[in-house]
Structure formats: C-alpha cells, structure tokens
C-alpha cells in the first residue's frame, strides 16, 4: 500500500466511524419513537429521551455552528420531542419516589398521605400522556429519517473531514468551559436554577466525551466515568426537587388543607424532611464536582489541546 493510499484510508477512518455512529444512534432513536406513541411505560419514555439527546449530540459535531436550516430543523425536532415527554418523565420518577416512601414508612397516616399523592400523580400523568401523544403525532418519523440520511449522505460525499479532530477538540473545550462556569455559579449560590444549569452542562459534556471515546480517543474515559457518577447525584437531587414541587402543588389545591388537615400536615412534615436532605445533597454534590474539576477535567483539557 502506497503512502498516499494509506493517508487516504487513515484520514477517512474518523469520517467513517462518525457516520457509522450517527447511523446507529439514528436507528436507536427511531426504534423507540414509535413505541412511545403506543406504549407509555416509563422506560420507553426515558429511552426515547436519552437517544434523542445522544443523536442530537452527534449532530452538534457533524453540523457545527453556524448550522444550515435543514440540520437546525432536525436538532429542533429532537429537542421538541424530548421536551414533549419531559413532564411525563418527571411524573414517572416522582411516582417511583412516592412508592418508595409508601413502602418504607411505618406510619398509617403518612402512608395514607402518600397514597393520596400517588393517586393525584397518576391522574395527572394520564392527562399529560394524552397531551404528549398529541404533540408527538405532528412529527413524521419517516420524513425525519429521510432528511437525516440525505444530510449524512451529503456530508459523506462533500465534507472535508480533515478538520474533524480539531472540531471535536474545540467542542470538548467549549463544553468544559461551560461546565466549569456552571460549577462556579452553583458553588457561589445554591439556587435551584444554578444547580439545574450545572446538571444540564454536565450532561452535554458527558455525552460529548462519550462520543470522543467511541470514536477512539480513550483518554476521556476517566472523565466520562466521573461525570456519570456526578450526574447520578444531580439526578437524585433533581428528582427530589420535582417531587417537592408536585407535593406543594397537591396540597395547595383550593380548600385541600381545610378538607384534609391530617394529610396536609403529614405531607408538610415530609416536605421539610425532603428539603433538608436535598440541601445536604447539594453540598456533597458541589464537593464531588470540585474534585472532578481538579483531576479529570484538568487531564481532559490537556488531552484536547494536544
């Protein structure tokens, strides 16, 4: 094999891997989308959202800013589908937490209170599922596949992938900077929106780092592992926060406290306990994030600059 042929093969390898990876993620997302239209199981909703996010992440690399209209529309579709299912996902998690508390309490009054909360959430979820299905039916999944594959074919034929590594490094560097800025803001003030911003920035960085690893750069594996652990912590914080919001919504219904004082008092006591737990969890999570920033993130920054 001549030097020019070997050079062509090597330069094409990242392109081939990236396009293959995109195809696999497209297949995963498309396999879940029809299911969520006829199956409202929590796992189906969760998987649809996860694979929409993973596909969107690879689109960010394939179609960097400034994006053309077609790629921008595809990314908007993925984001809108994920948002349409967001409230359902929150309710599924809250129902799971309520059932845990039902199973672990020894107090009949508290158990009855959680029973009523569970009935409220299930009724609310049924209504939200109907709204989500109505939103999702406006998306033609076959048209989405056709447009995506047409764009991928265009990329394969026309794009110069010689700068792919530079694009990936720039993307990781940008995501690192956004995550560190979100961490600094969350550390400065433990406001809910700041913690939530840290959670979202961590997701973006993690999925991007996973993509880099899947494309052959294993130097970011420690960062992926560390971010996964951190996201689990932030996920638990978010789940408890959402549950607190639903409980507050439940007990502030017109005349509820006057008609159900015992249930209201029991849930208020439980809310206070959950609130204290979440505040303590935030301190521990910020400490974990700082350790990641000092170790894994520093190594990752060095890696992407090489």
- Taking the alpha carbons at both ends of the chain, their separation in whole angstroms is 29
Give the model confidence (pLDDT) of 30-87 as tens digits.
999 999 999 999 999 999 999 999 999 888 888 877 677 888 999 999 999 999 999 9
* pLDDT tier at 1, thresholds 50, 70, 90: very low
**Length of the chain counted residue by residue:** 306
255 φ/ψ sector (left φ>0, alpha ψ -120 to 50, else beta): left
Q: With contact defined as beta carbons under 8 Å apart, do 161 and 11 qualify?
A: yes
Mean model confidence pLDDT for the chain? 87
What number is the average pLDDT over the span 178-195?
A: 92
Q: Which of 211, 275, 33 has the alpha carbon at shortest distance from 135?
A: 33
Q: Model's pTM, two decimal places?
A: 0.85
Q: What is the pLDDT of residue 279?
A: 85
- 82, with CB counted inside 10 A (0-12, 13-18, 19+), is middle
Distances from the Cα of 40 to the Cα of 118, 243, 252, angstroms: 17, 20, 28
> Which residue in this structure is represented by tokens 């550390």?
187
Q: With contact defined as beta carbons under 8 Å apart, do 198 and 186 qualify?
A: yes
């Amino acid at each position: 094999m001549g030097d020019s042929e070997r050079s062509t093969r090597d330069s094409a390898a990242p392109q081939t891997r990236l396009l293959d990876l995109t195809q696999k993620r497209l297949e995963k997302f498309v396999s879940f989308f029809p299911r969520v239209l006829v199956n409202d199981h929590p796992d189906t909703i969760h998987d649809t959202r996860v694979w929409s996010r993973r596909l969107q992440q690879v689109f960010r690399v394939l179609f960097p800013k400034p994006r053309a209209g077609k790629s921008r529309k595809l990314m908007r579709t993925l984001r809108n589908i994920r948002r349409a299912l967001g409230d359902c996902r929150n309710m599924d998690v809250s129902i799971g937490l309520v059932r845990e508390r039902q199973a672990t309490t020894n107090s009949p009054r508290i158990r009855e209170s959680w029973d009523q909360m569970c009935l409220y959430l299930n009724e609310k979820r049924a209504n939200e599922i109907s709204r989500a299905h109505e939103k999702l039916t406006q998306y033609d999944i076959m048209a989405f596949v056709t447009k995506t594959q047409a764009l991928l074919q265009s990329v394969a034929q026309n794009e110069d992938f010689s700068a792919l590594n530079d694009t990936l490094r720039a993307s990781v560097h940008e995501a690192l900077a956004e995550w560190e800025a979100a961490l600094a803001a969350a550390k400065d003030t433990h406001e809910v929106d700041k913690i939530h911003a840290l959670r979202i920035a961590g997701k973006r960085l993690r999925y991007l780092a996973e993509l880099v690893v899947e494309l052959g750069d294993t130097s970011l594996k420690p960062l992926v592992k560390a971010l996964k652990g951190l996201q689990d912590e932030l996920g638990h914080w978010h789940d408890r926060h959402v549950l607190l919001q639903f409980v507050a919504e439940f007990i502030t219904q017109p005349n509820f406290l006057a008609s159900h004082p015992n249930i209201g008092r029991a849930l208020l006591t439980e809310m206070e306990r959950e609130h204290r737990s979440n505040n303590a969890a935030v301190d521990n999570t910020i400490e974990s994030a700082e350790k990641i920033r000092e170790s894994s993130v520093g190594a990752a920054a060095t890696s992407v600059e090489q």
